[in-house]
Structure 1
């Protein structure tokens, strides 16, 4: 009896599930609306294999339905779709979420989708949609739309204003990376009281920040960077107490930051590349949640307030390229245990590097270049076990040998830039210098150092870029240099090196191939204040031996270095003919053989170096037509800028 009862209940359960399961498919109107969208595509990413007339559209790729077989979701992101967006999608009366992002759709955005009575999330970002957005007339009932993302398209014209009057539910609006122009509509927040995230960045908006943005009482993220905004921050904006992320970089905003401390919930403050003046107010210490502060490339001045020490959550402090002055010891950095990035390049800080910085045990990137700091580096810097990027260029530091003995404790260093210091000292030759196995970029340029290229450099097996130019080094170039298998940028120009150009330089593996690992610097390396490089493989492959005392012939093996973009052998004492093998360097953009003792004929095959943009063989005893130089392309590439500007300094 028990066995029968159990079996009965099992059959009943199966029958109940069968009767409860949906038996109908999506409606003909929904199916036709989706097929109309498919018909507007010139490339459908294989959807036609699934989207077939007469089949249940709830089973089609990218389509989800509710239990009553109403289409609720169309998710077709990253499907390689090309074509237009059909307005017939607006006929999907139960559609809640439409995602067409990361495709190649073009044309206009049908306003039937924006004004839909069902859609709550609409994402068409990263396409090629263009034309102006049309203003919708004021509608009687509120729209349900909560998230609208039209970023990274080709929209132009003025951003509509009346469209948003009925968008009472909109909480996220992202229109970044388009070409909208004119003023930011002042009605945005009044029309959308639920707005929590607003991204207007990377457009062409102009004029002042409208005071109406101060009515966004619940907004947490406000981004309007990379526009043409002017004027001061409106006072009412400081009343938006819930704001957590304020990003307005790369505009023309001005004024002071006296009211900034009212943003007590702010986590990210980015006002970089504007025209703000004055000092950082003492009240900044009230911003207890502040994790990132970017005030770089402004006109701010004064000493750093000691109250910065109260912002204990700080992870990033970027104050570069201002007029800040005074001693850094005003700030107790030991109170900032989470600090990972400190960038103060191009200011007027004086005194010594404060000991409290070395208490920031999580520090990964430290740049204090182009200030007026002096003295010796403290042994305490060895406490920064996570330090990977260190730039101290253009200060008045002393005792380079001790500096290297101390820095070897920072075993995670990958980038070390210390040029324009240690003037007229001797290059460290102590073979006990080690601990730099992870170093990838080393710059000890413009120091007028005496001595030779030291043997301890041979231990830097991961070195990719070496800058030793503008010193007083003597002797020959060591043969072990070819064992640095990753070295692709070598500049030892403006020294007093002698002997023949070693064939070891012709065996450098990375100058024979275009392969460079795609890594990212912890901080961008600047060659000028407006030119920066974020990845090593953005730098050209360079061999600069100019302004030395090299003698003998140009090695014929030089033709092996087919990845070279720049070769500079100028101002030496080289003799003989221009090696025909140089004509094999088909990637060359810069070739400078000037001011040597070369003779013979300029090889005609140099005309086949189609990328050559800088060519100089003057002050030699050469023969041949100068028509070669006249036929050269005259253009400025990023690689050329890197070559030219690094001779000044890399910061």
Structure 2
């Protein structure tokens, strides 16, 4: 009898522990994983935070409660790192995306609007394969756009506009981002031709290519390419010079917003074709 009583007590205790764990998950009481907390603290190291954006990032606290961090209620994995800067609130100093490698479940990364010195878009960005949102716009960073961005097969939003120290060609590997709906590469010093492979971005609804650089060649799209495009922003005299380019734009049946800078031949050709 005593043995059966003890077993029943043990079973009851185990059941209570399981119920507590489930309740903790439901109410968001699961804490972040230690290695992910340490990764965030390593990222913070070397950053000058005069405005206190990272003031809640303390070594002995649950990182899921830190400003700009959001975690899964079930696993404790960091899912969102949203640290968007403003004119009066921004981070300064050295930042290294490679220090965040342990955040392998990260879905949302926004480091826009900061003055990160000596910061390139690391090739390690391609290791965050669960990212659906990436925004580095208006950040004081540089270097080339890494072709490893093409590994982010789940990405839906990519904003790299107004990053004045980005240069070089647009990687054709971006065509692998077949879930991409938003792509803005405007106001950078990009050069070379626009990759024809971008026509495979069939889900794209927003495309920004207003360049400060020397993008060359024609828009490599034909009728039927990028059929869901609603917003198209272009600039420089590399675009809309031929009848085929104008016809491609005119056949975009869902297009609602067309912003063209220095494409003087668009209006003259359009009037000729009407």
With normalisation by structure 1, the TM-score equals 0.31
1:221 CA drift (Å): 8.0
Aligned 8 A contact 1:374 1:398 in 2 = no
Q: Which residue is equivalent to 1:337?
A: 178
Q: Which residue does the alignment assign to 1:312?
A: 153
The alpha-carbon distance between structure 1 residues 222 and 242, as it changes in their structure 2 partners (threshold 3 A), is farther
Given that 1:399 and 1:425 are in contact with CA atoms closer than 8 Å, whether structure 2 keeps it comes out as: no
Partner of 2:190: 349
Question: What is the rounded CA distance, in whole Å, between the counterparts of 1:351 and 1:345 in structure 2?
Answer: 14
Name the structure with the higher helix share: 2
Match of 1:368, SS?
strand
Indicate the residue corresponding to 1:407 in structure 2.
249
Shift of 1:401: 3.1
1:268-279 alignment runs, 5 A limit: 268-277=108-117, 278-279=119-120
Give the C-alpha shift of residue 427 in structure 1: 3.6
> Where does 1:387-426 land on structure 2 (aligned, <5 Å)?
387-397=229-239, 399-422=241-264, 426=268
Corresponding pairs, count:
221
Name which one, 1 or 2, has greater alpha-carbon Rg: 1
Aligned to 1:367: 208
Identify which of 118, 124, 130 aligns with 1:289: 130
What does 1:197-596 align with in structure 2 at a 5 Å threshold? 206-207=51-52, 209-210=54-55, 212-213=57-58, 215=60, 219=64, 222-223=67-68, 242-250=77-85, 251-253=89-91, 254-257=93-96, 258-277=98-117, 278-322=119-163, 323-328=165-170, 330-371=171-212, 372-380=214-222, 382-397=224-239, 399-422=241-264, 426-431=268-273, 456=274
From the two aligned structures, give the one with the greater strand fraction.
1
Q: Deviations over 1:454-476 (max 9, x none)?
A: xx4xxxxxxxxxxxxxxxxxxxx
Question: Which residue of 2 is the match for residue 180 of structure 1?
Answer: none
Q: Residues of 1 paired with 2:180 and 2:59: CA distance?
A: 31
Q: Contact 1:370–1:395 at 8 Å: present in 2 too?
A: no
SS of residue matched to 1:244: strand
Q: Say which structure, 1 or 2, has more relative contact order (CA 8 Å, 6+ apart).
A: 2
Give the structure 2 partner of residue 487 of structure 1: none
Question: 1:209 offset after TM fit, Å?
Answer: 2.3
- 1:342 deviates by 0.3
Distance 1:365 1:264 in 2: 27
Distance 1:221 1:412 in 2: 41
Quote the RMSD (CA, aligned, Å). 3.3
- Structure 2 unaligned segments of length 5 or more: list them: 1-22, 38-49, 70-75
Point out where structure 1 has 5 or more consecutive residues left out of the alignment.
1-119, 121-145, 148-168, 172-188, 194-204, 225-240, 432-455, 457-651
1:381: Cα distance to partner? 6.7
Mapped partners of 1:215, 1:391: distance in 2? 47
